[in-house]
Amino acid sequence: MEFHVYENAQKACEAAAILIAAQITSKSDCILGLATGSTPLPVYEKLVEWYKNGVLDFSDVRSFNLDEYIGIDHKNPLSYHAFMQENLFDHVNIVPENTHVPDGDMTGEEYDASIRAAGGIDIQLLGIGKNGHIGFNEPADAFTYGTHVTDLTQSTIDANSRFFESIDDVPRQAISMGIGSIMEARRVILVATGKDKAEAVYKMMKEPVTPHVPASVLQLHPDCIILVDEAAASLMK
Ligand code: F6R
């Protein structure tokens, strides 16, 4: 794993955006694996800025998102479908049919088959949960290979309650790409920012690979780049 520390979140996210932009520039019909959440917002802002400046062209790009809540309509502003529209897809020239976000109406096998049929993910963007989750692969006794429906842990429900009016409104289930689906991406970039993520970053990097810290599996990925700010790197010193 490559590990890079930046002085702040904006710079870590800009580094991630540069890697994605480089991928699009070198292969215009590349397949992006995309994440939602607070962490990648500045990544998407940069990509939109570069598209608006005429530097990036998304017309042949295809994308597959990591995950989506179960039981939330796509039009609900808190859905990951809506998140992607609002923060990226509505602002660039990506073809709507080329964007894919999983949902409870498809099976995990169908989603994985569509990723494979498209040629596989060239570059997968990830955040990390405070409990070490990637996508919604929560800590467990074993890794889950393919896209699957999963119960969210209390730590994730608590973390995501900041977006909802009450904690009772937070969905209890999600559909998520599995660890196998993520590990099949040709390149993985994980962005972690803020001191809340310091422990997860430390465990991902320094502890033995374990499904109890799902991100630790990235130690085995042949092309994985971890981009963090100083706060998220604080336990690494
Ligand atoms: C989102 C996702 C999650 C988030 C993680 C961190 O698509 O897959 O694993 O990356 O929960 O979320 P933030 O960035 O909001 O701290």
Task: Give 170-223 pLDDT, tens digit per residue.
Answer: 999 999 999 999 999 999 999 999 999 999 999 999 999 999 999 999 999 999
| Angle 146-151-152 from CA coordinates, rounded to 5° | 105
Distance in Å, CA 230 to ligand 1 centroid:
19
> Is 133 an active-site residue?
yes
Can you give the pTM of this predicted structure?
Answer: 0.96
Q: What is the dihedral of CA 9, 10, 11, 14, to 10 degrees?
A: 120
How confident is the model at residue 87, as a pLDDT? Answer: 98
How confident is the model at residue 163, as a pLDDT? Answer: 87
How confident is the model at residue 104, as a pLDDT? Answer: 81
> Is 230 an active-site residue?
no
How confident is the model at residue 135, as a pLDDT? Answer: 97
Mutate which of 32, 34, 39 for ligand 1 pocket (most atoms within 8 A of beta carbon) = 39
| Angle 114-117-119 from CA coordinates, rounded to 5° | 115
* Spans in the chain with pLDDT lower than 50: none
How confident is the model at residue 149, as a pLDDT? Answer: 95
Instruction: Name the H helices within the chain.
Output: 9-26, 41-52, 80-87, 108-118, 154-160, 179-183, 198-206
Cross-strand bridge partners of residue 150: 174
Active-site residue (options: 87, 98, 131, 137): 131
Mutate which of 133, 137, 154 for ligand 1 pocket (most atoms within 8 A of beta carbon) = 133
Q: What's the rounded Cα separation, in Å, for the pair 86 and 108?
A: 25
How confident is the model at residue 209, as a pLDDT? Answer: 98
Nearest CA to ligand 1 atom 2: 135
> Is 67 an active-site residue?
yes
How confident is the model at residue 11, as a pLDDT? Answer: 98
How confident is the model at residue 185, as a pLDDT? Answer: 98
> Is 100 an active-site residue?
no
Active-site residue (options: 68, 103, 122, 133): 133
How confident is the model at residue 105, as a pLDDT? Answer: 85
Q: What is the dihedral of CA 114, 116, 117, 123, to 10 degrees?
A: 90
